[in-house]
Amino acid sequence: KLELPFLSLQTGSCDHNGLLQLGEPTVIQLNYNGFGYRYGAWGKDSIPPLNKKELYWVAPLNTDARTLYSFTVYYSLNDLLLNKNPITKSFPSSYRAQGSGMVLYNNFLYYNCYNTRDMCRYDIDSGRVQSQTLKDAAYNNKYSYAGITYQDIDFAVDESGLWVIYCPETNAGNAAIGKINEATFTVEKTWVTRLYKPSVTNSFIICGVLYAIRPVQPQSEEIFYAFDTKTGKEDSISITMDKILEKLPSVNYNPANHKLYVYNDGYQLTYDVIFGREPPVSNSRIAN
Complete domains list, the chain, with CATH:
19-285 (2.40.128.630)
Given pLDDT bands bounded at 50, 70 and 90, which one contains residue 174? very high
pTM for this entry:
0.92
CA distance 249 to 117: 19
- Is the distance from CB of 1 to CB of 258 less than 8 angstroms? no
Cβ count near 161 (within 10 Å): 17
Task: List, in order, residues 6 or more apart from 211 with CB less than 8 Å away.
Answer: 19, 203, 204, 205, 223, 225, 226, 237
**DSSP label of 55:** -
The values of phi and psi at residue 136, to 5°, are: 65, 10
pLDDT tens digits along 122-162: 999 999 999 999 999 999 999 999 999 999 999 999 999 99
**Of 198, 202, 218, which Cα lies nearest the Cα of 210?**
202
- Is the distance from CB of 254 to CB of 11 less than 8 angstroms? no
